[in-house]
Amino acid sequence: MNRIKADLLVIGAGSGGLSVASGVAQMGARVVLLERREMGGDCLNYGCVPSKALIASAARARQVATAAEFGVNVSGVEIDYARVKDRVAEVIATIAPHDSQARFESLGVTVFREEGRFVSDREVVAGDHHITARRIVIATGSRPLVPHIPGLEDTPYLTNETLFAMRDRPEHLLIIGGGPIGLEMAQAHVRLGSRVTVLETAHALGKEDRDAAALILDSLRAEGVDIHEYTSATRVGGTTGAIWVETNTDHRFECSHLLIAAGRKPNTEALDLAKAGIDFDKTGIAVDGGLRTSNRRVYAIGDVTGGMQFTHVAGYHAGIIIRSALFGLPAKTRSDHIPRATYTDPELAQIGLTEEDAKHQYADRLEVVKFAYSGNDRATATGKTDGWIKIMVVKGRPVGVTIVGADAGEIINLWALVLANGYKISHLAGMVSPYPTVGEISKRVAGNYFAPRLFDNKMVKYVVRAVQTLLP
Q: Please tell me the predicted confidence (pLDDT) of residue 455.
A: 54
Residue 393 domain-assigned?
yes
**How many other C-beta atoms can be found within 10 angstroms of the C-beta atom of residue 458?**
7
- Together in a domain, 19 and 114: yes
**How many other C-beta atoms can be found within 10 angstroms of the C-beta atom of residue 375?**
15
- Together in a domain, 131 and 279: yes
For residue 400, what are the CA distances in angstroms to 292, 334, 362, 408, 415? 28, 14, 12, 14, 9
**What does the alpha-carbon distance between residue 41 and residue 219 come to, in Å, rounded to a whole number?**
32
- Together in a domain, 278 and 211: no
**What does the alpha-carbon distance between residue 287 and residue 304 come to, in Å, rounded to a whole number?**
10
Sign (positive or negative) of CA dihedral 421, 426, 427, 432? positive
Q: Please tell me the predicted confidence (pLDDT) of residue 271.
A: 97
Residue 87 domain-assigned?
no
- Together in a domain, 214 and 308: no
Q: Please tell me the predicted confidence (pLDDT) of residue 323.
A: 85
**What does the alpha-carbon distance between residue 319 and residue 185 come to, in Å, rounded to a whole number?**
31
For residue 78, what are the CA distances in angstroms to 51, 54, 88, 189, 308? 21, 16, 18, 14, 39
Residue 76 domain-assigned?
no
Find the CATH number of the domain harbouring 382.
Answer: 3.30.390.30
pTM over 0.85: yes
How many domains, the chain? 3
Residue pair 342/184 in contact by the 8 Å Cβ criterion: yes
- Together in a domain, 169 and 258: yes
Q: Please tell me the predicted confidence (pLDDT) of residue 460.
A: 57
Residue 59 domain-assigned?
no
**Per-residue pLDDT of the chain in tens (472 residues, 90 and over written 9):** 789 999 999 999 999 999 999 999 998 899 999 999 999 999 999 999 999 999 999 999 999 999 999 999 998 889 999 999 999 999 999 999 999 999 999 999 999 999 999 999 999 999 999 999 999 999 999 999 999 999 999 999 999 999 999 999 999 999 999 999 999 999 999 999 999 999 999 999 999 999 999 999 999 999 999 999 999 999 999 999 999 999 999 999 999 999 999 999 999 999 999 999 999 999 999 999 999 999 999 999 999 999 888 999 999 999 999 888 777 777 889 889 999 999 999 999 999 999 999 999 998 899 999 999 999 999 999 999 999 999 999 999 999 999 999 999 999 999 999 999 999 999 998 899 999 999 999 999 999 988 776 656 666 556 656 666 777 7
The C-alpha angle 373, 379, 385, rounded to 5 degrees, equals 50
- Together in a domain, 318 and 344: no
- Together in a domain, 139 and 12: yes
What DSSP assignment string belongs to 263-317? -EEE--GGG-GGGGT--EETTEE---TTSB-SSTTEEE-GGGGTS---HHHHHHH
Domain that holds residue 225: 152-263
Q: Please tell me the predicted confidence (pLDDT) of residue 265.
A: 94
Of 358, 430, 361, 364, whose CA–CA distance to 390 is shortest? 358
- Together in a domain, 300 and 228: no
Give the strand pairing for 129-138 and 242-247.
unpaired
Residue 403 domain-assigned?
yes
Residue 69 domain-assigned?
no
